[in-house]
Amino acid sequence: MARVQSPARSRPSTYPGWFFLPAAIIYGVLFLLPTFASLYFSLTRWTLFNSTFIGLDNFAQFFREPFLIKGLINTVIYAVVSSGLKVVLGLLLAVLLTSQIAARGYLRSVVFFPVLVSTVGVGITFTVLMHPTQGMINEGLAMLGIKGPGWLVDPNLALISVALVDVWKGVGLATVIYIAGIVAIPQDYYEAARIDGSTPWQSFIYVTLPLCRPATVTVITLSFIGGLRTFDLIWAMTRGGPGFASDTIASVIYKQYQAGFYGLSTAGNVVLFVLIGVLVVPLTMLLNRKEGHE
Partner 1 sequence: MKLLRRYWLTALAILVSGVVFLIPFAFIIMMAFKDRKQAALLDFSWPQGLHLWDNVVEVVTTRNWMLLTAFINSSILTVASVTLLVVFAAMVGFVLQRRKAKWNGLVEFLILAGLMIPPAIVPTIWLLQGLGLFGKLHGLVLVEIAYGLPFSILLYRAFIATIPRDLDEAAIIDGARPFDVFFRVILPLLWPVTVTNIVVQSVAVFNDFTNPLYYLPGNQNATVQLTLYNFQSQFNSSYNLLFTNIALITIPPLIVFLFFNRQIVAGMTAGAVKG
Partner 2 sequence: MKFNLKSMAMGGVGVMAVLLASGAAHAQSVNLTYLIPSGADGVAVAEELVKSFEAANPDINIDIETRPGGSEGDNLVKTRLATGAMTDIFRYNSGSLFQAINPQQFLVDLTNEPWQADVQASFKQVVTAPDGTVRGAPMGAAMGGGIYYNKAIYQELGLSVPKTWAEFMDNNEKIKAAGKVAVAQTYGDTWTSQLFVLGDYYNVSAAEPDFAANYTAGTAKFATDKAALRGFEKLQEVHDAGFLNEDFGAAKFDDGLRMVANGEAAHYPMLTFATTAIVASYPEMINNVGFFAQPGDDAASNGLTVWMPDGLYIPQTTSNLDAAKKFVAFVASVEGCEAQSRAGGASGPYLINGCTLPADVPPAVSDMLPYFAEGGQNGPALEFLSPIKGPALEQITVEVGSGIRPAADGAALYDEDVRKQAQQLGLAGW
* Binding region for partner 2 (CB under 8 A): 37, 45, 47-52, 61, 66, 127, 130-135, 150, 152-153, 155, 239-245, 255, 257-261, 264
Q: Is 106 in the site for partner 1 (CB under 8 A)?
A: yes
Q: Which is nearer to partner 1, 134 or 156 (CB)?
A: 134
- The residues that bridge with 53 in the sheet, in sequence order, are 44
CA distances from 98 to 62, 104, 185, 187, 286 (A): 48, 8, 12, 12, 28
Q: Which is nearer to partner 2, 124 or 279 (CB)?
A: 124
User: CA-to-CA distance for 229 and 34, rounded, in angstroms?
Assistant: 19
Dihedral over Cα of 39, 42, 48, 51: its sign: negative
Residues 245-274 touching partner 1, rule: CB under 8 A, are: 250, 253, 262, 266, 269, 272-273
Task: Name the binder of 239 from partner 2, partner 1, none, CB < 5-8 A by kind.
Answer: partner 2
Q: Which is nearer to partner 1, 43 or 156 (CB)?
A: 43
Helices 158-183/68-98 angle, 10° precision: 40
Q: Which is nearer to partner 2, 66 or 292 (CB)?
A: 66
Q: Is 8 in the site for partner 1 (CB under 8 A)?
A: no
User: CA-to-CA distance for 44 and 33, rounded, in angstroms?
Assistant: 18
Site string for partner 1, 208-247 (x = CB under 8 A): ------xx-xx--xx--x--xx--x---------------
Segment contacting partner 1 (CB under 8 A): 7-15, 76-84, 143-151, 201-209? 7-15
User: CA-to-CA distance for 258 and 281, rounded, in angstroms?
Assistant: 30
User: CA-to-CA distance for 291 and 211, rounded, in angstroms?
Assistant: 10
Residue 282 phi, psi (nearest 5): -60, -40
Task: Name the binder of 84 from partner 1, partner 2, none, CB < 5-8 A by kind.
Answer: none
Q: Is 286 in the site for partner 1 (CB under 8 A)?
A: no
CB 278 → partner 1: shortest distance, Å?
A: 11
The DSSP line for 150-209 is -TTTSTTTHHHHHHHHHHHHHHHHHHHHHHHHHHTS-HHHHHHHHHTT--HHHHIIIIIH
Segment contacting partner 1 (CB under 8 A): 20-28, 62-70, 151-159, 202-210? 20-28
Q: Which is nearer to partner 2, 103 or 128 (CB)?
A: 128
Task: Name the binder of 179 from partner 2, partner 1, none, CB < 5-8 A by kind.
Answer: partner 1
Candidates 8, 17, 66, 197; binder of partner 1 (CB under 8 A) is 17
User: CA-to-CA distance for 70 and 244, rounded, in angstroms?
Assistant: 9
Q: Which is nearer to partner 2, 24 or 37 (CB)?
A: 37
CB 98 within 8 A of CB 182: yes
Q: Which amino acid, 193? A: A
Candidates 5, 16, 202, 290; binder of partner 1 (CB under 8 A) is 16
Residues 130-159 touching partner 1, rule: CB under 8 A, are: 131, 134, 136, 139
User: CA-to-CA distance for 65 and 222, rounded, in angstroms?
Assistant: 28
CB 50 → partner 1: shortest distance, Å?
A: 12
Dihedral over Cα of 223, 227, 232, 237: its sign: positive
